[in-house]
Amino acid sequence: MIPQERIRNFSIIAHIDHGKSTLADRLIEFTGGLSKREMQDQVLDTLELERERGITIKAQSVCLHYQALDGQTYELNLIDTPGHVDFTYEVSRSLAACEGALLVVDAVQGVEAQTLANVYLALDQNLEIVPVLNKIDLPSADPDRVAAEIEAVIGLDAHDAVRASAKLGIGIREVLEQLVRRVPAPKGDAGAPLQALVFDAWFDNFLGVTVMVRVMNGTVRVGDEVHFMAAQKTLQVATLGRFTPARKDTEELRCGEVGFLTAAIKVIHDAQVGDTITAVHRPAEQPLPGYHKVKPMVFAGIYPAEGQEFEDLKIALEKLALNDAALSFEPETSAALGFGFRCRFLGLLHLEIVQERLERELGISLITTAPTVVYEVHLRNGEVTYIENPNDLPEPTRIDYIAEPYIKGKVLTPAEFVGNIMKISQDRRGAQVGMSYLDSNRVMIDYEFPLNEIIVDFYDKLKSGTKGYGSFDYEPIGFRRGDLAKLEILVNGEPVDALSLIVPREKAAARGREVVTKLRKHIPRQLFAVALQAAIGSKIIARETISPMRKDVTAKCYGGDITRKRKLLEKQKEGKKRMKQIGTVEVPQEAFMAVVRLGE
């Protein structure tokens, strides 16, 4: 049994591609958690999709035993954090379970915006930060410059930062030694009432809902009656244990320790990240600070491309939601798209991940409506409502004004691209609120944006505007009043609900033109002319016409042509099943997709 003073709880903070997963693998390997043969490459990224994207969505945490140079054995709990801006809250809860963090910075690339955001989160929680300069094996590595950058940007002393190459296994012992020496042991009172912080939860086919906890005070034992304070559920602890990374069950988790817990938790929504578990027989007076309910920021309708796949989609969404407390959805009907679901996401990446998983697991294609944010609608009668779907907007005459969510964003870029960033931000209604040089070449610009402006392809724009060197991070800062209106798209005079958007009035005409132009490009000619219009209220602000097809007949129809012709027509007919019928117009799903991807 390892005493509390020899426990070290830590996270790894790193930008995508800076080597977090590789370093984690090396730490596991070095401490003997897994032999080299057992090592699956990058153990911590469990999901296939995460591996492909090189990011970690679901945190995985491991408990390692390390024999330090001082002769003592330490318990090191590596608490993995999701690696994306959409999951800031989850990251903050994971960090709250730690006393320290390894800051891994690519010795070629230097500090990135996302790293910064997480470092600030860690500093806010008074974590001890241990800088690691990774990838020193690369010929273009410049650890001295990057160390200076860390000092300048973050204000950390980086002169003795570990110089490592996780890939080649250089500097791994030094990392472990610094962890043991510099990160403080967990505080907390073993004799106090139980307070265990839930920092992760998932659905396991064998164990049911499993939560990862950090025991902040007291001890939890198998069989204890425990109370989830935010979820207000009382349950009996069924199993406790650790991942080394192999699962090892235990009878108790003591003050300062990290491990998993199962109880008869039915749905993942009862196992909320940030919740506090306490003991029923001797409850804590207060929950741990920092909990809040997961707040979806982005909304979109998801529809099966073919109507009959609705049930399959429903089952798949339910399955995903088992493991994703942040995902919620409810059935929705669209005149244009049929039966589908309105889904709520933490952010655009979350949306993309859900969409990809659905398509991959179901093998069906989906139509996703243009993502939107939640709008705060102030009515003339003083009421305030929140709408997640542009079609739910009340009659214009009832609306006093509409407010939209804003974010504070931080862009890090090489100086030569500042002009591009300013242009992109201006196009997106961004207001620059600060700018500073991190060194002679790198610039940090602070912006305020309407969230709506960054949920679609902002990140792609930023990346292409900075040749891939720019990075971006944001946090919400509340609602602000805007001059907003509902833009409707009409096909042959019929409004297409799935294409409605809420847009700033000043941009309505441009946006409307963009939408109808895209539609014209993606809707094939029909038997009759098709009018495409963009309207605000009864005012048409853009119009395009698709002229009718003139000739679509094969000239010859001899005996030998009949089969071939019939098959061709059968194939065409089959292809049309993937199209959506709007009035008499057949609209391919690419047309909807194209509208979602505005601005390309």
Partner 1 sequence: MADISALYVHLPFCHTICPFCAFAVHRDRPGLHRPYLDELAVEIARRAAEVGGDRQRVTSVYFGGGTPSTLGLPEVAGLLETLRAAFGLAPDAEIAFEVNPEDATAPYLRGLLALGVDRISLGVQSLDDATLAALGRNHRRAESLRALAAAREAGVGNLNLDLMLGAPGVPARRLLADLAEVLQATPEHLSLYVLDLEPGTRFARDAAVRQWSETHREEQAEVFLEAAARLEARGYRHYEVSNFCLPGREGRQNRLVWDGADYLGFGVGAHSFVAGVRWHNVRHVRAYGRLLAAGELPVAAREVLTPQQLANERLMLELRRDSGFAPQPWSERFGFGWEGARERVARELEAGGLLRREAGRLVLTPRGLLLADAITERLMVG
Q: Which residues bind partner 1 (CB under 8 A)?
A: 527-528, 549-560, 562-563, 565-566, 568-570, 572-574, 576, 584
As a whole number of angstroms, the distance between CA 304 and CA 132 comes to: 46
Pick 206 or 558: Cβ nearer partner 1: 558
Pick 286 or 547: Cβ nearer partner 1: 547
Pick 293 or 556: Cβ nearer partner 1: 556
As a whole number of angstroms, the distance between CA 128 and CA 359 comes to: 42
Phi/psi of residue 405, each to 5°? -75, 140
- Write down the least CB distance from residue 520 to partner 1, Å: 17
Pick 232 or 563: Cβ nearer partner 1: 563
Measured from the Cβ of residue 318, the count of other Cβ atoms closer than 10 Å reads 10
Q: What letter would DSSP give residue 280? A: S
Pick 293 or 551: Cβ nearer partner 1: 551
Pick 396 or 548: Cβ nearer partner 1: 548
Pick 161 or 530: Cβ nearer partner 1: 530
Beta partners for 213?
A: 198, 259
- Write down the least CB distance from residue 310 to partner 1, Å: 20
As a whole number of angstroms, the distance between CA 490 and CA 530 comes to: 10
To the nearest 10 degrees (0 to 180), the angle between helices 113-124 and 88-96 is: 40
As a whole number of angstroms, the distance between CA 589 and CA 571 comes to: 17
- Write down the least CB distance from residue 336 to partner 1, Å: 18
Best CA proximity match to 176, nearest among 36, 33, 375: 33
Pick 464 or 547: Cβ nearer partner 1: 547
- Write down the least CB distance from residue 529 to partner 1, Å: 9
Beta partners for 62?
A: 78
Beta partners for 165?
A: 170
As a whole number of angstroms, the distance between CA 388 and CA 391 comes to: 9
Pick 1 or 555: Cβ nearer partner 1: 555
Q: Measure the CA angle with vertex 404, ends 462 and 124; round to 5°.
A: 65
- Write down the least CB distance from residue 97 to partner 1, Å: 58
- Write down the least CB distance from residue 556 to partner 1, Å: 6
As a whole number of angstroms, the distance between CA 134 and CA 146 comes to: 10
Best CA proximity match to 547, nearest among 559, 535, 532: 532
- Write down the least CB distance from residue 548 to partner 1, Å: 8
- Write down the least CB distance from residue 591 to partner 1, Å: 18
As a whole number of angstroms, the distance between CA 275 and CA 196 comes to: 8
Amino acid of residue 264: A
- Write down the least CB distance from residue 265 to partner 1, Å: 49
- Write down the least CB distance from residue 522 to partner 1, Å: 18
- Could you identify the residue written with the tokens 């008869």? 264
- Write down the least CB distance from residue 306 to partner 1, Å: 14
As a whole number of angstroms, the distance between CA 360 and CA 515 comes to: 28
As a whole number of angstroms, the distance between CA 84 and CA 349 comes to: 8
Pick 233 or 565: Cβ nearer partner 1: 565
Q: For residue 319, how far is the Cα from the chain centroid?
A: 18
Q: For residue 339, how far is the Cα from the chain centroid?
A: 26
As a whole number of angstroms, the distance between CA 43 and CA 51 comes to: 10
Q: Measure the CA angle with vertex 570, ends 568 and 573; round to 5°.
A: 110
Pick 67 or 581: Cβ nearer partner 1: 581
Tokens of 93: 């809860």
Best CA proximity match to 197, nearest among 235, 249, 253: 253
- Write down the least CB distance from residue 558 to partner 1, Å: 7
Pick 36 or 551: Cβ nearer partner 1: 551
The number of residues making up the chain comes to: 600
Pick 246 or 569: Cβ nearer partner 1: 569
Give residues with Cβ within 8 angstroms of 551, minimum separation 6: none
Tokens of 55: 């990011």
- Write down the least CB distance from residue 378 to partner 1, Å: 44
